[in-house]
């Protein structure tokens, strides 16, 4: 084994965002591309020497090769130890847990989350801090600056490390510990939830279908749901991780998980169904004949968390991302809880969690979490729902109906316009931005405008300010429209339009969402001129 220094030069466009650096897989496979960014990570955190890291990913194409590069670069950088999931697999929440439990100096997670995988699809890499959460902006900025100044990187010339066998081996002077990716995570879940009550629920004939979408949660779900908790064999669907996610799109929403939605709406529906995404941090919740929006899911969990052992003492507070509906705000107000509205991105929740200000948090893009880790956690959300169902004796539909009767209903949907030409997307946003000052007082089908602004967030913990976080328009009817450009795609721009209407009339809370939101949808178009500017006649994805 020999440490070598490889001369390189800066590669443009390696700026990590909220979820790290995401590009097409073939981009990462270009000479020096991955190595440059890994070296920039080391430079951005003050070097790797003497440090311990967690490394793992969702098993997508190029995951295995990238991990070997990272191991050799960590060894060359003087790291003392790297903890790796067996076969390179670690769900994002499991990686966060390992970082925290083993008190490491952080970790590298290889994933593009819910984006498709494969040679012609997407790949991603991000660094998580010692608290288990995504690197904050000051750290990612240092990494980006390092990518622009890089002239060389160090790497060890060595054979691949066998990641199939659990145990510790050496790579130069560095230890590589291969661990069971499920064990520590499963142990944490058992501490939080009443596994006995959930086992009894299944023993009474309660039926479940969990769609792992050929992604990383398959082994976790099979071990915990079918193994420990006794769900019937076959309850976990698509449970073997695949480098291209079975040719599908591992995003747990009604579009990409349509077979599961069709199942729960059909005659052979299970009592409960759920899905998770590529790296295991997102979730979709369903019951017989009912789809639970992520915003409603967060609110229901906040209202009922006291039924679960890990949260029986009550919640310190709750938080939601700005585009998420105000459903959880109503729970917080009724329960006397602090409620925070943050920008999109889990790192903002991390500060609130670390400071003890909140216990539960979530975002409308199918992410829910708590203070047990510093990432959103798909399987945890499923277990929390199961524990609440077991403790309450209600079905999903009954639990949701009772919630709306008590708190009112925030009808909600999101329209995504994907791969829009960036110039057109920016022109649309600039047009709305320029009209914000004139909107207040105007009347639209959704109601009279009471507030219109560009959301900015002043972090109550570290005092930092995050501006330009999305355009908000609020109406006197309780309706709201939000416009944002998403940073999770790898080409063009994704325009996201968030549409919300509130109803507290018990007679009207069971209305068809499309009808309840019709005026809001019409209003969003009137404000944005989206169709005329982009040429799009409708959204690519509706969730």
Residues that are catalytic: 113
Q: How far apart are CA 530 and CA 520, in angstroms?
A: 14
Structure tokens at 337: 């809880």
Spell out the residues 6+ positions from residue 51 whose beta carbon is closer than 8 angstroms to its own: 79, 80, 104, 105, 106
Radius of gyration of the chain (CA): 23
Q: How far apart are CA 285 and CA 380, in angstroms?
A: 12
Q: How far apart are CA 15 and CA 119, in angstroms?
A: 22
Structure tokens at 404: 């709306």
Q: How far apart are CA 195 and CA 192, in angstroms?
A: 9
Residue-level length of the chain = 543
- Residue 363 C-alpha from the chain's centroid: 8
Q: How far apart are CA 71 and CA 175, in angstroms?
A: 10
Spell out the residues 6+ positions from residue 232 whose beta carbon is closer than 8 angstroms to its own: 202, 207, 208, 226
According to the 3-state scheme, what is the secondary structure of 197-257?
HHHHHHHCCCCEEEECCCCCHHHHHHHHHHHHCCCCCCCEECCCCCCCHHHCCCCCCCCCC
Contact predicate 386/272, CB 8 Å: yes
- Return the number of other C-beta atoms located less than 10 Å from residue 32's C-beta: 16
């Amino acid at each position: 084994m020999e440490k070598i220094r490889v001369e390189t030069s800066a590669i443009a466009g390696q700026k990590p965002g909220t979820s790290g650096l995401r590009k097409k897989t073939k981009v990462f496979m270009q000479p020096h591309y991955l190595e440059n960014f890994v070296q920039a990570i080391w430079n951005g955190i003050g070097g790797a020497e003497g440090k311990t890291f967690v490394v793992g990913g969702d098993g997508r194409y190029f995951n295995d090769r990238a991990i070997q590069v990272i191991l050799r670069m960590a060894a060359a950088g003087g790291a003392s130890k790297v903890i790796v999931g067996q076969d390179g697999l670690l769900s994002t929440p499991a990686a966060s847990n390992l970082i925290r439990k083993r008190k490491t100096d952080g970790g590298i997670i290889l994933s593009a989350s819910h984006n498709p995988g494969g040679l012609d699809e997407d790949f991603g890499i991000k660094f998580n801090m010692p608290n288990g959460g995504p690197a904050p902006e000051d750290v990612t900025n240092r990494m980006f600056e390092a990518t622009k100044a890089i002239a060389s990187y160090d790497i060890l010339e060595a054979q691949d490390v066998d990641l199939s066998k659990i145990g510790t081996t050496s790579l130069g002077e560095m230890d590589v510990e291969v661990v069971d990716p499920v064990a520590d995570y499963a142990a944490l879940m058992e501490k939080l939830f009443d596994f006995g009550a959930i086992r009894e629920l299944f023993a009474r004939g309660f039926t479940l279908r969990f769609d792992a979408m050929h992604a990383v949660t398959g082994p976790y779900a099979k071990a915990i749901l079918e193994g420990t908790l006794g769900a019937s064999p076959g309850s976990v669907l698509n449970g073997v991780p695949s480098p291209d996610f079975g040719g599908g799109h591992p995003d747990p929403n009604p579009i990409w998980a349509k077979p599961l939605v069709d199942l729960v709406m059909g005659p052979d529906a299970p009592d409960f169904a759920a899905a998770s995404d590529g790296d295991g941090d997102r979730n979709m919740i369903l019951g017989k004949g009912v789809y639970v929006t992520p915003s409603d899911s967060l609110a229901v969990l906040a209202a009922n968390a006291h039924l679960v052992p890990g949260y029986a003492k009550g919640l310190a507070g709750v938080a939601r991302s700005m585009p998420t509906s105000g459903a959880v705000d109503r729970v917080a107000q009724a329960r006397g809880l602090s409620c925070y509205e943050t920008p999109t991105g889990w790192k903002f929740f991390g500060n609130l969690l670390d400071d003890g200000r909140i216990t539960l948090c979530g975002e409308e893009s199918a992410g829910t979490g708590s203070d047990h880790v510093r990432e959103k956690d798909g399987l945890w959300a499923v277990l929390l729902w199961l524990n609440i169902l077991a403790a309450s004796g209600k079905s999903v539909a009954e639990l949701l109906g009772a919630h709306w009767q008590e708190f009112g209903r925030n009808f909600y949907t999101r329209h995504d316009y994907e791969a829009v030409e960036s110039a057109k997307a920016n022109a649309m946003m600039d047009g709305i931005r320029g009209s914000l000052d004139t909107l207040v007082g105007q009347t639209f089908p959704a109601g009279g405008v009471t507030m219109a602004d560009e959301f900015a967030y002043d972090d109550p913990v570290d005092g930092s300010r995050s501006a330009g976080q999305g355009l908000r328009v609020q109406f006197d009817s309780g309706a709201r429209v939000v416009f944002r450009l998403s940073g999770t795609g790898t080409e063009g721009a994704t325009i996201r339009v968030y549409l919300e209407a509130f109803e507290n009339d018990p007679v009207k809370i069971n209305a068809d969402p499309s009808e309840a939101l019709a005026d809001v949808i019409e209003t969003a178009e009137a404000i944005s001129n989206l169709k005329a500017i982009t040429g799009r006649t409708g959204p690519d994805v509706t969730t």
